[in-house]
């Protein structure tokens, strides 16, 4: 590419001669990225396409400018700009930096933000060179976990800090809607607005841009997101020919979020080979479209052999494939809780007792089981209450957990209850999402 052509593209995406666009802070990520930047390591933001990674880079640019960094010392590169399409290579990265240095003449060590880095083959070699020689401060985003993990592990091991980005948590969703709840009094005072927002969150999901669209247009935008993920992050990357089967498997797993599945079941349902079923599920995981939970076992070998649970990354995507149905509500609540726990940095498993009773979440932090969680819309029915609560003691006994905390997240009021001598905390799902616990 010619110098002026590259400069034109860079000028379109950078803010050297124009104001930065308005954005809404995402405090959890913004603070973490800022602290990581101070360590001068490579920062990797990974997550599903359109979850807001690029905007987090913009937020970081704003923070740098606020801290006195000169605009010319910051370079933002959108590697999905169609003008780059036929030139995606390590050589292009070098060419971009050369043009930037020549025309912007940064005075300090530049901050370089590379958006959707997976589009560049062998990108990690160029990034590693910049890091090792101390030439740039590098932040990257990517939408394919397989690409990032394999290439980072081989070349960038020990040189980077990674952050997984999710679509908006419910607390962020409220902030994007201008609804601020920080205390229990706010929570009580705004209960009607919170309930209305939660139904929107459950129906249309939490991709940031979807919030700005009218209800009639949200589904159309979500469909474009789904197509883009399947085509760009899976079909193109893995050069798949059987696109219809990929679409069908993605629809099946998204619509049945939170249901235990096996590769053999998927193989039989879609009349495909075991290897194809396994690979297609892996591709969906790599694109962050679904999240996998293993059955907890102290044996890693058994964990890998047991059936898995798959959760949709966003209920807006799930609802593209489903007719509104009250029967989905329990699974929707479970999905929301699963994604929120992952967003908070916990490692998750499900568990089945010897008598085949299921615990929704075995919650692990720093290699220690810290909580057992059940999700149930209501405990008012005695049969449901018995099913949801009696499994706690069985699980604690079988896993030798002692007095680990037991929690039920529901749509009922928060309270502490005693069941068969066991203390259980019941937390209202909105209170848990907004105020935390």
349-363 tens-digit pLDDT? 999 999 999 999 999
Q: What are phi and psi of 406, to 5 degrees?
A: -120, 130
Q: Can you read off the two tokens belonging to residue 210?
A: 């979807």
Residue 404 domain flag:
yes
* Cβ atoms of 396 and 404 closer than 8 Å: yes
Instruction: Collect all residues with Cβ–Cβ distance below 8 Å to 154 and sequence separation of at least 6.
Output: 124
Residue 221 domain flag:
yes
Same domain flag for 351 and 296: no
Interval 397-404 mean pLDDT? 94
Q: Which of 324, 359, 378 is the last residue of a domain?
A: 324
Same domain flag for 124 and 110: yes
Domain count, the chain: 3
What pLDDT digit, counting tens, does each position of 240-264 carry? 988 999 999 999 999 999 999 999 9
Q: Is the pLDDT of residue 100 over 90?
A: yes
Q: Can you read off the two tokens belonging to residue 178?
A: 């201008």
Residue with tokens 């916990």: 346
Q: How far is the C-alpha of 416 from the C-alpha of 423, rounded, in Å?
A: 7
Give pLDDT, residue 158: 73
Give pLDDT, residue 116: 93
Q: Which of 164, 179, 198 is the last residue of a domain?
A: 164
Same domain flag for 286 and 317: yes
Give pLDDT, residue 415: 94
With bands split at pLDDT 50, 70 and 90, how would you rate the model's confidence at 101? very high
Q: How far is the C-alpha of 157 from the C-alpha of 362, rounded, in Å?
A: 29
Q: How far is the C-alpha of 4 from the C-alpha of 254, rounded, in Å?
A: 45
Residue 333 domain flag:
no
Write out the residue range of the structural domain in which residue 248 sits. 168-324
Same domain flag for 154 and 7: yes
Q: Is the pLDDT of residue 150 over 70?
A: no
Averaged pLDDT score across all residues of the chain: 94
Question: Among the residues of 313-413, which ranges form H helices?
Answer: 315-318, 329-343, 382-398
Same domain flag for 194 and 95: no
Same domain flag for 139 and 197: no
With bands split at pLDDT 50, 70 and 90, how would you rate the model's confidence at 151? low
Residue 198 domain flag:
yes
Q: How far is the C-alpha of 66 from the C-alpha of 63, rounded, in Å?
A: 5
CB-based burial, 401-437: b 16+ in 10 Å, e otherwise: eeebebbbbbbbebeeeebeeeebbbbbbbbbbbbee
Q: Can you read off the two tokens belonging to residue 355?
A: 């008598």
Q: What are phi and psi of 105, to 5 degrees?
A: 50, 60
Give pLDDT, residue 402: 87
Give pLDDT, residue 325: 65
Rg, Å, the chain Cα set: 23
Q: Is the pLDDT of residue 111 over 90?
A: yes
pTM of the model: 0.94
Instruction: Give the DSSP H or E segment for 360.
Output: strand 358-365
* Cβ atoms of 414 and 428 closer than 8 Å: yes
Same domain flag for 13 and 160: yes
Give pLDDT, residue 311: 98
What pLDDT digit, counting tens, does each position of 315-335 carry? 999 999 987 666 789 999 999
Q: Is the pLDDT of residue 145 over 90?
A: no
DSSP state of 15: -
Same domain flag for 308 and 371: no
4-18, 37-51, 136-150, range with greatest mean pLDDT: 4-18
Spatial strand order of the sheet with 160-164 comes to: 74-78, 111-115, 137-142, 42-46, 160-164
With bands split at pLDDT 50, 70 and 90, how would you rate the model's confidence at 90? very high
Q: How far is the C-alpha of 214 from the C-alpha of 357, rounded, in Å?
A: 42
Q: Is the pLDDT of residue 436 over 90?
A: no
Q: Is the pLDDT of residue 282 over 90?
A: yes
Same domain flag for 288 and 427: no
Residue 43 domain flag:
yes
Same domain flag for 255 and 176: yes
Same domain flag for 9 and 150: yes
Same domain flag for 192 and 292: yes
Give pLDDT, residue 326: 61
CATH assignment of the domain containing 235? 1.10.10.10
Torsion (CA) 43, 64, 342, 363 in degrees, nearest 10: 90
Q: Is the pLDDT of residue 147 over 70?
A: no
Interval 33-55 mean pLDDT? 92
Residue 341 domain flag:
no
What pLDDT digit, counting tens, does each position of 216-243 carry? 999 999 999 999 999 999 999 899 988 9
Q: Is the pLDDT of residue 160 over 70?
A: yes
Q: Is the pLDDT of residue 156 over 90?
A: no
CATH assignment of the domain containing 71? 3.40.50.300
Q: Is the pLDDT of residue 407 over 70?
A: yes
Q: Is the pLDDT of residue 148 over 70?
A: no
Residue 252 domain flag:
yes
Residue 223 domain flag:
yes
Q: Which of 266, 289, 324 is the last residue of a domain?
A: 324
Number of C-beta neighbours around residue 264 at 10 A:
12
239: left (phi over 0), alpha (psi -120 to 50) or beta: left
């Amino acid at each position: 590419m010619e110098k002026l052509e590259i400069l034109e593209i860079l000028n379109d995406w950078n803010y050297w001669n124009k104001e930065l666009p308005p954005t809404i802070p995402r405090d959890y990520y913004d603070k973490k990225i800022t602290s990581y930047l101070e360590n001068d390591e490579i920062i990797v933001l990974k997550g599903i396409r359109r979850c807001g990674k690029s905007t987090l880079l913009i937020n970081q640019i704003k923070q740098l400018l606020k801290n006195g960094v000169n605009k010319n010392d910051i370079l933002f590169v959108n590697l999905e700009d169609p003008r780059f399409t036929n030139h995606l290579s390590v050589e292009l990265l070098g060419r971009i930096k050369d043009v930037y240095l020549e025309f912007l003449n940064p005075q300090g060590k530049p901050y370089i933000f590379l958006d959707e880095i997976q589009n560049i083959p062998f990108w990690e070699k160029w990034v590693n060179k910049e890091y090792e020689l101390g030439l740039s401060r590098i932040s990257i985003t990517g939408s394919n976990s397989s690409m990032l993990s394999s290439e980072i592990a081989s070349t960038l091991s020990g040189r980077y800090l990674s952050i997984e980005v999710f679509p908006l948590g419910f607390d962020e969703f409220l902030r994007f809607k201008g609804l601020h709840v920080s205390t229990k009094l706010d929570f009580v005072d705004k209960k009607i607005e919170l309930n209305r927002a939660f139904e929107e969150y459950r129906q249309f999901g939490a991709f940031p841009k979807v919030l700005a669209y009218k209800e009639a247009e949200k589904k159309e935008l979500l469909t474009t997101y789904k197509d883009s993920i399947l085509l760009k992050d899976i079909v193109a990357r893995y050069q798949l020919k059987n696109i219809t089967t990929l679409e069908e498997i993605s629809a099946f797993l998204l619509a049945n979020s939170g249901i235990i599945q096996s590769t053999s079941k998927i193989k039989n349902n879609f009349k495909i080979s075991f290897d194809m079923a396994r690979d297609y599920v892996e591709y969906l995981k790599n694109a962050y479209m679904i999240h996998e939970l293993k059955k907890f076992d102290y044996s890693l070998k058994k964990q890998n052999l047991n059936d898995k649970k798959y959760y949709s990354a966003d209920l807006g995507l799930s609802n593209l494939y489903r007719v509104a149905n009250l029967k989905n509500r329990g699974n929707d609540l479970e999905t929301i809780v699963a994604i929120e726990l992952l967003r908070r940095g916990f490692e998750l498993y499900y568990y089945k007792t010897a008598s085949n009773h299921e615990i929704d979440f075995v919650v692990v932090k720093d290699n220690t089981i810290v909580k057992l969680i059940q999700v149930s819309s209501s405990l008012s029915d005695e049969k449901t209450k018995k099913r949801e609560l009696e499994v706690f003691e069985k699980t604690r006994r079988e896993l030798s957990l002692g007095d680990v905390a037991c929690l039920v997240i529901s749509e009922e009021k928060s309270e502490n209850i005693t069941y068969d001598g066991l203390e259980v905390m019941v937390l209202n799902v909105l209170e848990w999402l907004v105020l935390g616990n």
